[in-house]
Structure 1
Amino acid sequence: MENNTLTAKRVADAAYDAIRAAAVGLREDVLCGLAAARKIEEQPRAQSVLDCLLENAQIAREDGVPLCQDTGTCWVRLEVGEELSIPGDVLSQVDDAVARAYTDGRLRMSVVHDALFDRANTGDNTPAFAEIATRPGHGATLHVLLKGGGSDNASRVVMLAPGAGIEGVRNVVLDCVREKAANACPPLIVGVGVGATFDKVAGLAKHALLREIGSPAASPKHAAFERELLEAINATGIGPGALGGKTTALAVHLETAPCHIAALPVAVNMGCSAMRSVSIDLVSWED
């Protein structure tokens, strides 16, 4: 990267590497979360599920094979400092990187041409579901998340009346978990978005999944609500593999935003036990 310019090729090359790494390597914080859950589980079935998940992660990393047969859609978020420029069509080059990574990695292609009228497979897992966001400064970060259909299908968006308040948000999250967690391959990371607009609140919930388990929330109030939701989710007893146990979720991550005075948008996006994401600092990254 030279002269405050971030090339589209650099972004695409980083996306290629991130996809290949995420497909076969479970995030370190998720591994630690699964191991910690294994220590506290008392039910044999829950222990067995967690043992299988940990063994699966080890095999995937050592043999370079996918963590899950559902290698997912590719969600890409590029955060660029306002002092940087990116000449060229960066998103088309990201699509090219996705096609190459899925082909070279022999990953399952899971994207169809049109959700309603043409459900033929695109054959290369494109397009990527990509977005670009600006931020202050000179830095740039690329986030790549491989999202399986089961966990995305277990998510929801609800437009509450503002009077529903915190209790209404809590009920949306817990109802979603009770109804859908079993299909999302628990233990989960539960991303919760509150605020913005109908089309943006789901992005808050998905972005929340990128935060490392155990990392600080945005504020003490956020952190307290996250702990409350996590305790309530784990009290359901759904457990690992939905076979019962103490650990239905490893973490709840909350992101909030401003919204209209007449609205209280809420989104829940579940991350499964094969939580596959990679974040790359593009300034310091060496390809």
Structure 2
Amino acid sequence: MDTIIEKQQVAAAVRAVIPHLACELPPDVEAALARALEVETNPRGRAVLAQLVENARIAREDNVPLCQDTGTVWVSLEVGPGVLVAADVFADVDAAVAEAYETARLRKSLVRDALLDRTNTGDNTPAFCDVHPVADRGVARLHVMLKGGGSDNASRVVMLPPSAGRAGIVEEVLACVREKAANACPPLVIGVGVGATFDKVAGLAKRALMRPLDEQAPDADTAAFERELLDAVNATGIGPGGLGGAATAIGVRVETAPCHIAALPLAINMGCSAMRRATIDLAAG
């Protein structure tokens, strides 16, 4: 029997998770910060990491936001065969976001129109939603992320020539890190998308950020490339808070896709040290 996902189910999950995301780091991110503190030798880097670990504890225990920028709300529904999704599945999400931000007293950061009307919407809506098909039968996973402006501002999409290859991707990631990482509140989690088309590659990079830091890539080649990128990023010495040290990033996640023979689309989506994301299994009821 097919699983049916209704708008009320999605809205309820979004409404419930937002206050927790704003105030609690995911366990894998908090653990990665603690590990980075254990091995960091730069005094300023150690001081920043210690403050981030302490900030996470205080935010969790006192139920206050991890960061003053409580972000835009990104919602992505992954569905597999055997899952039916109502056409209006996101219809109640904006109301859920508005209620959650008001009840939890979170900062509201959305403007009505990026170009024509930069007045605040007053309720942190609209949320940015998409449906993403996956091959796994019966899957209905809801990803929710609160994304700060500083980390998204440090991100980029580049259409490389195919001849740039693997080395060109590494070079572009490092150029982005050197130029923008200090403004994105490191240590970072960096999502890298490679492939698809101009409009789709950024989605790959953002979805890459959803994979937990303690969960390795499903194939060995991608896992090796992630380690290569992480080592290269941390070799820059930019460090926590941009003040120097080994932990410029605590993770790099890569998602790839097919693309045109004449293209090598690349997206780099920076995630800050307040990497606020959660995945909810809607199929589990």
Matched, 1:109 2:111: no
Give the equivalent residue in structure 2 for 1:18: 17
1:67-123 Cα offsets, whole Å, 9 max, x none, are: 000000000001123322233622121111111111111111111110001001111
Name the aligned partner's letter for residue 225 of structure 2: F
1:3-51 Cα offsets, whole Å, 9 max, x none, are: 7322211111001112111111101100110000001011221111111
Q: TM-score, normalised by structure 2?
A: 0.97
Matched, 1:154 2:146: no
Q: What CA distance in whole angstroms lies between the structure 2 residues aligned with 1:66 and 1:272? A: 14
Matched, 1:235 2:248: no
Q: CA deviation at 1:260?
A: 0.4
Q: What CA distance in whole angstroms lies between the structure 2 residues aligned with 1:128 and 1:5? A: 22
Q: What CA distance in whole angstroms lies between the structure 2 residues aligned with 1:280 and 1:227? A: 27
Give the equivalent residue in structure 1 for 2:176: 176
Q: What CA distance in whole angstroms lies between the structure 2 residues aligned with 1:46 and 1:37? A: 10
**Structure 2 alignment gaps of length 5 or more:** none
1:165-219 Cα offsets, whole Å, 9 max, x none, are: 1111111100000000000000000111000000000111111001111311132
Q: What CA distance in whole angstroms lies between the structure 2 residues aligned with 1:178 and 1:6? A: 43
Q: What CA distance in whole angstroms lies between the structure 2 residues aligned with 1:55 and 1:236? A: 26
SS at match of 1:283: helix
1:214-257 Cα offsets, whole Å, 9 max, x none, are: 31113211111111111111011000011001110001111100
Matched, 1:45 2:44: yes
Give the equivalent residue in structure 2 for 1:261: 261
1:240-277 Cα offsets, whole Å, 9 max, x none, are: 01100111000111110000000000010010000000
SS at match of 2:15: helix
SS at match of 2:283: coil
Name the aligned partner's letter for residue 35 of structure 2: A
**Structure 1 alignment gaps of length 5 or more:** none
Counting only pairs closer than 5 Å after superposition, residues 19-168 of structure 1 correspond to structure 2 as: 19-87=18-86, 89-135=88-134, 136-168=136-168
Q: How many residues align?
A: 284
Please tell me whether the aligned partners of residues 142 and 282 of structure 2 are also in contact (alpha carbons under 8 angstroms): yes
Identity %: 61
Please tell me whether the aligned partners of residues 193 and 204 of structure 2 are also in contact (alpha carbons under 8 angstroms): yes
SS at match of 1:85: strand
Q: What CA distance in whole angstroms lies between the structure 2 residues aligned with 1:81 and 1:168? A: 34
Q: What CA distance in whole angstroms lies between the structure 2 residues aligned with 1:192 and 1:269? A: 6
